[in-house]
Structure 1
């Protein structure tokens, strides 16, 4: 997990054209982070998507997650959850997860994706972002703040 940092230390330009966010259900964290990063890097030739390890396939974004996005001028209404698979992982240049157990699960699904899989909170001392699913709005607000910090940090490297 030190490759990106070292590449930047030595002035090596790492190019990511396809970034994938991963969480469990693909209805709260990963689609929110996807929308946030897409806005943060608008104008760059980078595709951003998301998928879930146990996706609620074809479900839209969680209502509270969507509400928080809308309050910040963003919109996740077009999102439909999808289940992660080897092909999705193979097409990604960078995979950003919310928790360490997601990194481990991706390594089990596609060991070749290990070298390109990191925590969204990598630049915040490898911080994990907890799942707000089925919790009250304050939990979503906390998670949104953590994701915004992670997105902002990663966008500086893209």
Structure 2
């Protein structure tokens, strides 16, 4: 059903790459391509050090990640696009109105709430967000 999943946040250095790498781990060899991008990406930047460490602590290596700017062609190519916040959904639809039917919140199957941006916050904020992302990824697994 879904062959290409795109995950979107603001800078593509904290939330969306964490979700991307967690999805990759969970999906294994199922043949589903997962990528991420940012609405205001810090293009070329590696993942935030705290987000990267939390991934490593859960057995996932995201060291190769580099931030990408979201462009319409990414939304057209994706079968499913997941945002972290309601405003990300709105921005994706503005960028590519044709993608409306495949754009959802990562937390759609949970409480439909936003996953807050931990950028420049303490480790506790990153831990909280990491857990929210993990739960969001887990909630999608039954639909993939």
Same fold (TM over 0.5): yes
Secondary structure of 1:20's partner? strand
Residue ranges of structure 2 left out of the alignment (5+ in a row): none
- Rounded Cα–Cα distance in structure 1 between residues aligned with 2:106 and 2:33: 16
Map 1:23-102 to 2 at 5 A.
23-102=9-88
Secondary structure of 2:74's partner? helix
Secondary structure of 1:127's partner? coil
How many residues get paired? 144
Secondary structure of 1:144's partner? helix
Query: Is 1:150 paired with 2:139?
Result: no
Secondary structure of 1:156's partner? helix
- Rounded Cα–Cα distance in structure 2 between residues aligned with 1:137 and 1:144: 10
Deviating beyond 3 angstroms after TM superposition, the runs of 4 or more aligned structure 1 residues are none
Secondary structure of 1:22's partner? strand
- Rounded Cα–Cα distance in structure 2 between residues aligned with 1:25 and 1:85: 13
Q: Select the structure of larger CA radius of gyration.
A: 1
- Rounded Cα–Cα distance in structure 1 between residues aligned with 2:2 and 2:113: 22
Q: Which residue number corresponds to residue 139 of structure 1?
A: 125
The structural deviation recorded for 1:120 is 0.2
- CA root-mean-square deviation: 0.5
The structural deviation recorded for 1:156 is 1.5
The structural deviation recorded for 1:127 is 1.9
Q: Which residue number corresponds to residue 121 of structure 1?
A: 107
The structural deviation recorded for 1:125 is 2.0
Secondary structure of 2:143's partner? coil
Q: Which residue number corresponds to residue 11 of structure 1?
A: none
